[in-house]
Amino acid sequence: MVVKEQKVAVVTGCSTGIGLETCMLFARSGIHTYATMRDLSKAGLIKKIAEKEKIPLKFIEMNVNKDDSVEKAFENIFDEGMRIDILVNNAGFGLFGALEDLLITDIKKQFETNLFGAIRTIQQVLPVMRNQRSGNIVNISSVAGYIGFPTSSAYVSTKFALEGLSESLAYEIEQFGINIILIEPGVINTNFVKNIMIPDNTQPISSSILASSSPSTSPTVISTISNTHPDNPKYQREITQYARVVDSFLSHYYPAMRNAPDPKEVARVIMKSIQRSVVSNKEGVNFFRYPVGEDAKLYAEAKKKMSDYELHSFVAKRTIT
Ligand SMILES: NC(=O)c1ccc[n+]([C@@H]2O[C@H](COP(=O)([O-])OP(=O)(O)OC[C@H]3O[C@@H](n4cnc5c(N)ncnc54)[C@H](OP(=O)(O)O)[C@@H]3O)[C@@H](O)[C@H]2O)c1
């Protein structure tokens, strides 16, 4: 049961990474936190920690791709009290590969989670936040929410969309004292690479780069066209025509993940951003952006200062040359 006056938070995608660290930090700070995840069997370890530390952390099943799962999760949360102070839209994954190699159905899956998932939860919390005339909606975007990167067009599109949605929504909800916060991490050391989806004709490139940078990680392979061929059932689609650019990009990206900041750093920025937004809202400001990590800060500065042409060359030099 929520203690009166206690802040209440809902975080999506808490099984690993940024979501896990955020729900732990919230609960350890005394915020009554609903850690949601699509597979509750992954909650084992944090459940044990929460019980041991006696922190206010509850676990709720929520698959952000599904209307009924999101509705049911919020019904359970609202049964305990009609208050939500913080929503963190964190659940997400990356679909990588050249656009020509991707199937529309896979691109739709990418939007289903990274964009529509966030819209579903926002629509659930808005009536409650409007009623209480306060609230913080934190959307986990990315450096890929304001800069396009090679072989990342599907992922980048979802994060640009999330940024546009957040910027627009801020005008609608400021009258109700609700804040929108965009968190824009650069590369962060989580399971993100392990959970990346990659088309089959790109997978061999990805695997060999990964084998040399992190042998224990293998991304999900998707078959964007059938692996079968009328003459030869073992036929595999030829390697992507975009091999050079994919190879260069992943050769920069995968090793960067090894030395990247810990997801705890993102959780700390989320916490600070909420504390600051509460103060700023009293001065009439309700929309905020926070890059996380040196790479994200560098790119954010570059985006502000450079012409489109300069920015294109800057990104190319750092990623595919
Ligand atoms: N790591 C980075 O470099 C980085 C950089 C910028 C932004 N981000 C963003 O940060 C967020 C978190 O990523 P992460 O780095 O922490 O990666 P992660 O360790 O792979 O965590 C992703 C989380 O999202 C969950 N998820 C995926 N699809 C879901 C669905 N349909 N419903 C509910 N949960 C779902 C995963 O659950 P399962 O365990 O069930 O798969 C997992 O808990 C993502 O939005 C990502 O785009 C990451």
Per-residue model confidence (pLDDT) at position 229: 39
22-38 mean pLDDT:
98
CA of 220 to the centre of ligand 1 (A): 14
Average pLDDT over residues 132-153: 98
Predicted pLDDT of residue 258: 84
Among residues 34, 146, 155, 290, the one annotated as catalytic is 155
pLDDT at position 29 is: 98
User: Of all residues in the chain, what percent carry a pLDDT higher than 90?
Assistant: 85
Q: Is residue 266 part of a domain?
A: yes
Query: CATH number, domain at 281?
Result: 3.40.50.720
The fraction of the chain above a pLDDT of 70, given in percent, is: 91
Q: Is the pLDDT of residue 233 over 80?
A: no
The neighbour count for residue 257, using CB atoms within 10 Å, is 18
Q: What mean pLDDT comes out for the span 38-54?
A: 97
pLDDT tens digits, 241-258: 999 999 999 999 999 988
User: Atom of ligand 1 at shortest distance to CA of 257?
Assistant: 3
> For 255-301, how does the pLDDT look when each residue is reduced to its tens digit (9 = 90+)?
998 889 999 999 999 999 999 998 887 788 999 999 999 999 999 99
* Ligand 1 residue neighbourhood (C-beta within 6 Å): 12-13, 15-19, 37-39, 42, 63-65, 90-93, 113, 117, 140, 142, 185, 187-188, 190-192, 195, 263
Q: Ligand 1 centre from 87 Cα, in Å?
A: 15
Q: Is residue 135 part of a domain?
A: yes
pLDDT at 1 over 80: no
What is the rounded average pLDDT for all residues in the chain?
A: 93
pLDDT band at residue 226 under the 50/70/90 scheme: very low
Does pLDDT of 236 surpass 90? no
Looking at the structure of the chain, the number of domains it has is 1
pLDDT band at 198 (very low <50, low <70, confident <90, very high): very high
Question: Is 155 one of the annotated active-site residues of the chain?
Answer: yes
Question: Does the residue 126 lie in any domain?
Answer: yes
Report how far ligand 1's centroid is from the alpha carbon of 140 (Å). Answer: 9
> Which pLDDT belongs to residue 237?
67
Q: Ligand 1, atom 17: nearest CA belongs to which residue? A: 192
Among 19-33, 194-208, 217-231, the least confident range: 217-231
- Give the residue whose CA is nearest to atom 36 of ligand 1: 13
| pLDDT exceeds cutoff 70 at 50 | yes
Residue 254 lies in a domain: no
Tell me how long the chain is. 321
| pLDDT tens, residue by residue, 173-190 | 999 999 999 999 999 999
Q: Is residue 153 part of a domain?
A: yes
239 in a domain, yes or no?
no
Q: Is the pLDDT of residue 69 over 60?
A: yes
The answer on pLDDT for 227 being more than 50 is no
> Which of 11, 14, 18 for a ligand 1 pocket mutation test, highest count of atoms within 8 Å of Cβ?
18
| Ligand 1: residue whose CA is nearest its atom 8 | 142
Is residue 188 within 8 A of residue 66, CB to CB? The reply is no
The 10s digit of each residue's pLDDT in 76-130 is 999 998 899 999 999 999 999 999 999 999 999 999 999 999 999 999 999 999 9
Residue range of the domain that includes 274: 8-93+106-189+261-297
Residue 115 included in any domain: yes
Q: How far apart are the CA of 23 and the centre of ligand 1, in A? A: 13
pLDDT for residue 216 is more than 90: no
- Smallest CA separation from ligand 1 atom 32, residue: 63
SS3 labels along 140-205 = ECCHHHCCCCCCCHHHHHHHHHHHHHHHHHHHHHHHHCEEEEEEEECCCCCCCCCCCEEECCCHHH
Is the pLDDT confidence value at 228 over 90? no
Closest protein CA for atom 23 of ligand 1: 13
Q: Hey, which bits of the chain come out as E strands?
A: 8-11, 32-37, 57-61, 86-89, 135-140, 178-185, 197-199, 220-222, 287-292
Handedness of CA 88, 91, 97, 98 (dihedral sign): negative
Strand pairing class (8-11; 197-199)? unpaired
Q: What is the mean pLDDT of residues 215-242?
A: 59
Entry pTM: 0.94
- In this structure, is residue 87 part of a structural domain? yes
Query: Tokens 């999101």 — which residue?
Result: 70
Is a pLDDT exceeding 60 seen at residue 60?
Answer: yes
Q: Phi, psi (5° rounding) for residue 86?
A: -135, 130
Cα 8 to its chain centre, rounded Å, is 21
